[in-house]
Amino acid sequence: MQLKKRILIICPFPQGVAAGQRLKYEQYFDDWAENGYDVVVSNFMDNALWEIAYSPGKHIQKFFGVIRGYYRRIKDLRKVKEFDFVYIFMWVTPFGSTFFERMIRLLAGKIIYDIEDNILVSKGNKINPLAHLLKGQGKTKFLIRTADHVITSSPFLNDYCANLKKKNSCTYITSSVDTNIFIPTNEYRNEGKITLGWTGTFSSRPYLDLLRETLIKLNAQCDFKLRVIGNFDYELPGIDLEVIRWSKKTEVKDLQEIDIGLYPLTRDEFVLGKSGLKAIQYMAFGIPTVATNYGTTPLLIEHMKNGWLVNSDDEWITALKTLIHDPKLRCRLGKNARKTVLNRYSVSAVASQYLNILDSFEEVQ
C-alpha cells in the first residue's frame, strides 16, 4: 500500500474562521485526503488571539498570543522534515525579518506559497498601527522567489509573481464556494423593503465607507434596508441599517436574505490583487451584484448579463435605484450569476487545479 504524502499547512489564522483561508484551500482538505494526501495544519493565531486580534486595546493579551504563535513556529521547525510538502499561506510569522521563512525553506522539501490580495503593497492598520510597522516587508518577496510553486489570488498578482519566477511555477486559482451550501432562496419580489447587503471584516470596511454618501443620496430617492455582515460596529445616520456579527453558523442564512449585493472598490494597486470573493459569494446565492468596474471584478461579472458594473457615484445610484424597483431584472442577473459560479467558481469546478499542483511534484520526483 502506497504511503500518503504529508502536507504541513502553515497559515495565520485558526481553521474555519478567515474567509481568505476557508473559501480557498481549506475547503479542499477532504478532496486532498481522498487523493492520497495527509494534511496537518499549524496556525499562528490560536482561537483566543483571533477573538481579540482585530479589536482595539487588549495589548497584553495580544502580546502573549503572539508569543504563543512564535512558540508554535519554533516547534514547526523541528518537524518540517517529516512532511513531503509545506503549504504556506501569506507568511510563516507576521513580524520581523525573514528568519523563519528562511529556516522553513532550508528544512522543507517542497514549498507551495499561497498569496492572497496584493500584500506586496503596504496597507495601514488603524486598529493595530504598531503591528503594521513591525511587519517584515521582505517576507512575501522571499517566499515568491524561493517557493517551488506560487498560488495567487488574481491574474494581475500572478503576472507580478511570474516576473520574479519561472512563469510555469505560478498559478492563479480563484476563490471558490461550496454551491451545495451556498444555495439561493431569493424569490425576487418587491412585497417588502429591499435589502442591500455587504459582508467583510474591519480591514475591508474602508471599501464600504466609499458608499456612505451614495447610500444617503439613494435613501432620499427610494426605500431600502442596508445589511452589514462583519466583525465591527457600523453607523450610517438616516439609513435603515442592520448590523450583523459574522458567524459561521448563520453565514448562509444572513447572506440569503440579501436582495442586492454591494462590492465597492478603490482603484489602486492593492485592489488588483483581490480575488473578488465578495462578488463570488453574492453570485453563488443568485444575488444580483453591483460592483466597481476594476481589477478582477470585470473577469467575474459581465455587465448587465450576470451583474452590474459601475464607474462613478452616479452610476452606483442609477444601478441600485433600478434594481430596487425592477424585480425581473434582479431575477435575470441573479440567476445568471448563479450559473456563472456553478461553472467557474464552485468547489467542484476548482478542485482539480489544486490537485494538479500537488500531483505535479510527484511527477518530478
C-alpha cell at 328: 425581473
Is residue 192 within 8 A of residue 206, CB to CB? The reply is: no
Exposure of 119 in the CB half-sphere (CA atoms within 13 A)? 23
Could you tell me the pLDDT band of residue 3, with boundaries at 50, 70 and 90?
Answer: low
Could you tell me the pLDDT band of residue 137, with boundaries at 50, 70 and 90?
Answer: low
Per-residue pLDDT tens for 194-210? 999 999 988 899 999 99
110-115 sheet: strands from edge to edge: 37-43, 5-11, 85-89, 110-115, 149-152, 170-172
What would the 3-class secondary structure string for 27-60 be?
A: HHHHHHHHCCEEEEEEECCCHHHHHHCCCCCCHH
- 229 φ/ψ angles, rounded to the nearest 5 degrees: -110, 115
Q: Which helix (H) or strand (E) holds 350?
A: helix 347-364
Segments of the chain assigned to CATH 3.40.50.2000? 5-176+347-364, 195-345
Using DSSP's 3-state secondary structure scheme, residue 249 falls into coil
More confident residue, 103 or 133: 103
Strands (E), 92-214: 110-115, 149-152, 170-172, 195-199
Q: Which fold has domain 195-345?
A: Rossmann fold (3.40.50)
d(CA 110, CA 35): 18
For residue 333, the model assigns a pLDDT of 98
For residue 166, the model assigns a pLDDT of 65
How large a percentage of the chain has pLDDT more than 90? 77
More confident residue, 119 or 349: 349
Residue 316 carries which side chain, given as an amino acid letter?
Answer: W
C-alpha cell at 51: 477573538
Per-residue pLDDT tens for 147-204? 999 999 999 999 888 888 766 699 999 999 999 999 999 999 998 899 999 999 888 9
Residue in this structure with the C-alpha cell 503591528, named with its chain if needed:
131
For residue 73, the model assigns a pLDDT of 97
Q: What is the CA radius of gyration of the chain?
A: 21
Per-residue pLDDT tens for 17-31? 888 899 999 999 999
> Residue 153 has what DSSP assignment?
S
- Please tell me the CATH code under which domain 5-176+347-364 is placed: 3.40.50.2000
- DSSP code per residue over 202-218: GGGHHHHHTTHHHHHHH
Per-residue pLDDT tens for 109-131? 999 999 987 666 655 444 444 44
Per-residue pLDDT tens for 203-244? 899 999 999 999 999 999 999 999 999 988 999 999 999 999
Contacts of 187 (CB under 8 A, 6+ apart): none
Is residue 87 within 8 A of residue 114, CB to CB? The reply is: yes
For residue 130, the model assigns a pLDDT of 41
- Summary mean pLDDT of the chain: 91
CB atoms within 10 A of CB 152: 26
d(CA 77, CA 8): 11
Mean of pLDDT values over 127-143:
63
Using DSSP's 3-state secondary structure scheme, residue 94 falls into coil
